[in-house]
């Protein structure tokens, strides 16, 4: 039986374009044996790994977007930035705890709280800025073989907290303190998390990215410039490994800003258009492999 893994990259609200991929996989009866996510991709991955349908994942994601928009979490700097606040933020003006609280409530509603509660093997990436090491939050450690000595594997953590760490975009969403670590967005070192899927022992992989092809002109905004720098680094890192995936789906959302909350439905529509061009490739993943196919995959 061929095991298939799905890697969901980071990209803020653009990651909503990954939702139609889940719907298409369900429609074509293609089972996912392991899923990984970075940054906003980790939100989608966590919801899917909880074991609910693709339709429920889509609705949950839209519910989260609405609550974040209604509470103005991404628009209003945290009160913890004020001089008299006893609690302080590091490396961002948005309090990641607010995002964690919203996500935790939704995950509990879906029946999961701890990362070990998920039904589908899950891996979520983050980075410890103190040591520079990759952090991998893993739901099924008994099935996971860590092949990188530079990666720290953590299995005892709430799912919402793991996702929050992965979404802690530097200079925007404050870094998350956890034990002796100071955790930020996993996209700093592994925006496209293919590696953990192979560590779970999958045979074939699907990679979903949101690489933009448009030029950047918002040079007067420090935040926008910082995001642009991160995007360039992420895309370059993705391109170095994306060839490892058996199917690569890219949704070039040139007209959407990473933190443009409210564009969820638009990005979903764009994702649906992009996935339509890859259905035959996805169907091919479940076909029996020849000896030569297995050999090529082994040495890929």
Concatenate the DSSP letters of all residues of 166-221 into one string: HT--TTTBPPEEETTEEEEETHHHHSS--HHHHHTT-SEEEEEE----S----TT-
Contacting residues for 156 by C-beta, under 8 A, at least 6 apart: none
CA distance 244 to 42: 20
Taken as a whole, the chain contains a residue count of: 300
Alpha-carbon torsion angle 194, 234, 89, 125, nearest 10: 0
**What does the DSSP 8-state code read for residue 33?**
S
Here the tokens at position 83 are 């001089």
Mean pLDDT of each 10-residue bin along the chain, 300 residues long: 95 95 96 97 98 96 96 82 73 91 97 97 97 97 95 98 96 94 95 97 96 74 75 82 94 86 95 94 85 61
Contacting residues for 89 by C-beta, under 8 A, at least 6 apart: 78, 80, 81, 95, 174
CA distance 75 to 94: 8
Evaluate whether 196 touches 138 at the Cβ level (below 8 Å).
Answer: yes
End-to-end CA distance of the chain: 19
Residue 13's pLDDT is: 95
φ and ψ of 286, to 5 deg: -95, 0
Residue 48's pLDDT is: 98
């Amino acid at each position: 039986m061929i095991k298939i893994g799905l890697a969901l990259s980071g990209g803020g609200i653009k990651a909503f374009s990954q939702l139609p991929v889940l719907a298409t996989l369900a429609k074509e009866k293609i089972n996912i044996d392991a899923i990984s996510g970075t940054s906003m991709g980790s939100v989608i991955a966590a919801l899917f790994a909880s074991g609910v349908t693709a339709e429920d994942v889509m609705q949950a994601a839209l519910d989260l977007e609405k609550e974040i928009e209604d509470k103005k979490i991404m628009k209003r700097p945290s009160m913890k930035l004020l001089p008299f606040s006893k609690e302080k933020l590091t490396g961002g003006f948005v309090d990641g705890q607010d995002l964690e609280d919203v996500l935790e409530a939704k995950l509990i509603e879906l029946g999961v709280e701890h990362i070990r509660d998920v039904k589908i093997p899950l891996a979520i990436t983050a980075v410890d800025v103190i040591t520079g090491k990759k952090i991998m939050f893993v739901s099924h450690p008994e099935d996971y073989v860590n092949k990188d000595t530079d990666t720290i594997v953590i299995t005892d953590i709430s799912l919402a907290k793991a996702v929050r760490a992965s979404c802690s975009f530097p200079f925007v969403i404050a870094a998350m303190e956890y034990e002796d670590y100071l955790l930020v967005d996993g996209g700093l070192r592994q925006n496209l998390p293919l590696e953990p899927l192979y560590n779970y022992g999958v045979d074939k992989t699907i990679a979903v990215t949101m690489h933009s092809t448009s030029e950047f002109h918002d040079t007067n905004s420090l935040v926008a410039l910082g995001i642009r720098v991160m995007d360039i680094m992420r895309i370059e890192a993705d391109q170095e490994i994306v060839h490892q995936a058996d199917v690569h789906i890219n949704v070039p959302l040139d007209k959407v800003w990473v933190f443009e909350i409210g564009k969820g439905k638009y990005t979903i529509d764009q994702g649906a258009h992009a996935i339509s061009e890859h259905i035959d490739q996805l169907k091919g993943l479940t076909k029996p492999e020849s000896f030569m196919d297995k050999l090529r995959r082994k040495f890929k």
